[in-house]
Structure 1
Amino acid sequence: MLHVLVSLCLLASAHADKAVLGGYRAQPQLQNDAHVQEIAEFAVQQLAASEATTLELADILSVKTQLVAGTNYQFELELTNGLVYDLTVFESLNGREKQLTATKQLPARSNYSSSSSSSGSSSSKQSQRQIKASSPSSDGYRTVKMPMLDDGTMFAARETAQYLSQTSNSLYPFTVGEITSAAVKQDGQDESTYVVRVRLDQQSLPSATVDAQVSRDNMNSYKVMQITKPRYLSSTGEKKS
């Protein structure tokens, strides 16, 4: 009888473990979660340290979780240089310990999709323009030295803030907090393209950084052509790590 009771207890324990532990589950609802964003940033920083280079997160393409003695987060991440990685991070139950446990480079996706045309509905334009902006390469771009910013760079940053304010669901508008990097390319006699990295503030909400490509036409009109997903910062204004 005692042997039967022990067997039943072990069987119940095994089923309980299966309810808690298991395989990875897709969690698309977590892609915009601030804590998951923090873990993804940590993964990219650890990858950069292991490769002795500078890497920055552009977008979380997918996230899966697995409950173990803590949580495994499996990400498919796109970086600002266009590379895509499958990265896995283990986080302890108390959240104090994180470790990058697996890395795998995936086939790169196209950094840019085609820009929106002047016709069509605003919702169509928004879906076409929510794309990834890569860092400027050497093909015609001139780096704008900090803090000596020209008027065009300032207008490009303000256009970026205005664009996100119009397309965001938030009640609070974005404002330019700081331009951390910028480059400009002359496209014609009176036309230019700016690539800016901007910290945007949103009243009492956490600030965010974005990379954007903004065009200026010969009528001195600015238009956001490409933009990354906002990367939110801590309440102190420092990037979460």
Structure 2
Amino acid sequence: MRHCLHLTSTFVLIFLVTVQSQMLGGHKNIADHQNDARVQEVAQFAVKQIGEKTSKKLDLVKINSAQKQVVAGLNYVLVIETAAQSKKETYEAHVYEPLGNQPLKLTSHKQIDNEAAQRKTEESSERHSGALLGGYREVSTTDSEVSQAADFAAEQLSSQSNSLSPLKVEEVLSARSKVAAGKVFELKMKLSQGNMPEQIMQVEVSRSLQNELKLESHNPISSES
């Protein structure tokens, strides 16, 4: 009898630990969100609620990305594309689904521009494909995030220089990025500084989840006369 009670207690403990670990987990991408019936229902609910809160007649056009987190129920984070009188608007919506078939609740929402929406979709795709644990991928040298990282690196390098002339980014020659706890950029760029010869510099700049930039490393490659 005691042996049975011990086994039962062990199974209950394992179950509770498993549930607790799920509750403490992060958001996970929903791979086939376009064909997931529940995600579609949650998205339609979010669009209706956002429409009521913004006094707009919104129609769901597309779900760009979807994530969920196990808590005491489920938290959904959706990036949804809507149409309002032929004008497209993209929103990030957070929806909570309680346990026990309780009604859904829109906990927060915000409208985001197309560039931010594309970035969120790309990062979501990268996490799903395993890029979170992998290496760099090529990105456009004219991307706004790349330009921001390059300018930041030039400012940081200027502050470390003894020259009175600041470093100026003449051209970003190549750019790669990877998803980490935020994002990391590896850039090769051409810099000028007053009357000095132009130089090629390779830098690594990180961007935290709070959008704070940090120059992680820099390495001069060559100079041009």
Larger strand proportion, structure 1 or 2?
2
- Classify the TM-score, shorter chain: 0.3 to 0.5
TM-score, normalising length: structure 2: 0.40
Normalised to the residue count of structure 1, the TM-score between the two structures is: 0.38
Higher relative contact order (CA 8 A, sep 6+): 1
